[in-house]
Amino acid sequence: MNFFDIDTSIPTLGEAKIPSPLRNLDGDVHKHRFVDDDNRVMIAIDPEQVANRIREGGSLPSFERAGPRNRIYFDPSKLRCALVTCGGLCPGLNDIIRSLVLQLYYGYGVRNIYGIRYGLQGFIPSYGHDLMDLKPANVGNILDMGGTILGSSRGPQSIDEIVDTLERLNIGILFMIGGDGTLMAASKIADTITARGLKISVVGIPKTIDNDIHMVSKSFGFDTAVEVARTAIMGAHNESEAYPNGMGLIKLMGRHSGFIAATATLAQQHVNFVLIPEVDFDLDGPKGLFKALEDRLTLRRHAVIVVAEGAGQKFFENRAEETDESGNVRLGDIGIFLRDKINAYFKERDLSITLKYIDPSYTIRSLQANANDSVFCGFLGRDAVHAGIAGKTRMLIGHWNNHFVHVPMSASTGKRKQVNPDGKLWSTVLEATGQGSLKNE
């Protein structure tokens, strides 16, 4: 990736002229917390590229650092804000909602905060979903709840109708919490807002349990997913050890990226084989999975396999393609496929095995956030408010080089972060499992 080609500038609605009310909260304490737009966070790039860039006299790419600004664009006493959660469930959604509402209400004195019900459907009058009036009283205790109090939905909706609703409600800031599809919708909403000459800020908070959003080093919900997946791996290991030729097969989230499968494996190192979308594998042949499993059972009499949901999709190439409401291709169920194929392979060889199949995916998605994710969500929500109220738009709050930063939507949407098969994460997984290549070529 050429980081030098990335435009990291953040659009604004206009000059921020209003002194921030945060200056009055704790006397001189808060003034030291204000962040200037010139306070930058370098994008990690190859040292040789940096040296060459400096020799050529070029600038080094960097993100704006997130945080409160000394002056803001919106008058909080007149501001109306809207929050929406879209797509699949993910641990931490309620934490984000709570953080946004409390920062708007107590930090800036915003009193008109509306929750849009059931994702983008909530903007469309024909669905009949009521708004939720969000106050500290009705978000104070939602940290212990999984899911989202606003509800969610999948699928596209009319961008013009969405902007009509924003205009009708006199919304100044729209906070959109969702994955890549949501962020692409946010970008289109911002385009329409600009075309109509409206002064509405659109701020995204990236949500993907798979941790696969481009230019975002970490997304909320990932820590919780790894923690719960670790428990599933332990259960599969205990089951496999309890029987002669026992096997545990765990399917984890990861449509296109194997971060959860790889990281959970390193968190609970009882796994012998890890299958992810980024690394091809064969079933049959001298180096295929079946032969490796057979060798493992001969040696140790038990085995644990972790597979990401998007792995091995080449085995479904002849299946009729289907899409979900959001236009995503429905994946072939690699977990069930492997379960049946493994059982058939060993039955054909008259080798008795006991295979336990575990799929904790939807249990994980609907859980409350763990401690690390909850803290992380608090930072994301507060920094989203700081950005929006300063008039910044067409951006999302990301985490990069241990800092929270402003990432332009154009730099992230429509792209995907994946496990590098030659990188440290995957090489460490190979060391921990000892599986080697599962390709015959």
Tell me the C-alpha distance between 35 and 16, whole Å: 13
What percent of the chain stands above pLDDT 90? 82
| Pairing state between β 273-275 and 395-400 | unpaired
Which amino acid is present at 93? L
- Looking at residue 348, what is its pLDDT? 96
Q: Which residues contact 13 (CB under 8 A, 6 or more apart)?
A: 73, 199, 200, 201, 391, 392, 393
Determine the average pLDDT of the residues in 254-283.
Answer: 96
Determine the average pLDDT of the residues in 401-410.
Answer: 94
- Looking at residue 28, what is its pLDDT? 56
Catalytic hit among 210, 212, 359, 373: 210
- Looking at residue 59, what is its pLDDT? 73
Q: Is the pLDDT of residue 53 over 90?
A: no
- Looking at residue 30, what is its pLDDT? 55
**CB of 255 closer than 8 Å to CB of 287:** no
Lowest mean pLDDT among 2-6, 224-228, 365-369: 2-6
Determine the average pLDDT of the residues in 94-123.
Answer: 97
Q: Is the pLDDT of residue 87 over 70?
A: yes
Determine the average pLDDT of the residues in 395-403.
Answer: 94
Tell me the C-alpha distance between 216 and 401, whole Å: 10
- Looking at residue 42, what is its pLDDT? 85
Nearest CA among 59, 409, 47, 11 for reference residue 216: 409
Determine the average pLDDT of the residues in 325-335.
Answer: 82
Is residue 222 classed as helix, strand or coil in its secondary structure? helix
**CB of 315 closer than 8 Å to CB of 342:** no
* Cβ neighbourhood burial of 319 (10 Å; 0-12, 13-18, 19+): exposed
Element (H, E) at 361: helix 361-365
- Which two three-digit tokens encode residue 391? 């008039």
The residues facing 398 across adjacent strands are 405
Q: Is the pLDDT of residue 26 over 70?
A: no
The residues facing 249 across adjacent strands are 305, 357
**CB of 176 closer than 8 Å to CB of 203:** yes
Q: Is the pLDDT of residue 50 over 90?
A: no
Q: Which residues contact 37 (CB under 8 A, 6 or more apart)?
A: 10, 64, 69
Which amino acid is present at 386? H
Tell me the C-alpha distance between 135 and 348, whole Å: 63
- Looking at residue 415, what is its pLDDT? 85
> What are the structural domains of the chain?
3-219+368-412 (3.40.50.450), 223-366+421-433 (3.40.50.460)
Q: Is 329 or 281 the better-scoring residue by pLDDT? A: 281
Determine the average pLDDT of the residues in 267-277.
Answer: 96
| 112-160 pLDDT, tens digit each | 999 999 999 999 999 999 999 999 999 999 998 999 999 999 889 999 9
5 catalytically annotated: no
Q: Which residues contact 156 (CB under 8 A, 6 or more apart)?
A: 120, 185, 326, 327
- Looking at residue 327, what is its pLDDT? 66
Quick one: pLDDT band at residue 44, thresholds 50, 70, 90?
A: low
Question: What pTM was computed for the model?
Answer: 0.93
Q: Is the pLDDT of residue 278 over 90?
A: yes
Tell me the average pLDDT of the chain: 92
Tell me the C-alpha distance between 187 and 139, whole Å: 28
Quick one: pLDDT band at residue 7, thresholds 50, 70, 90?
A: confident
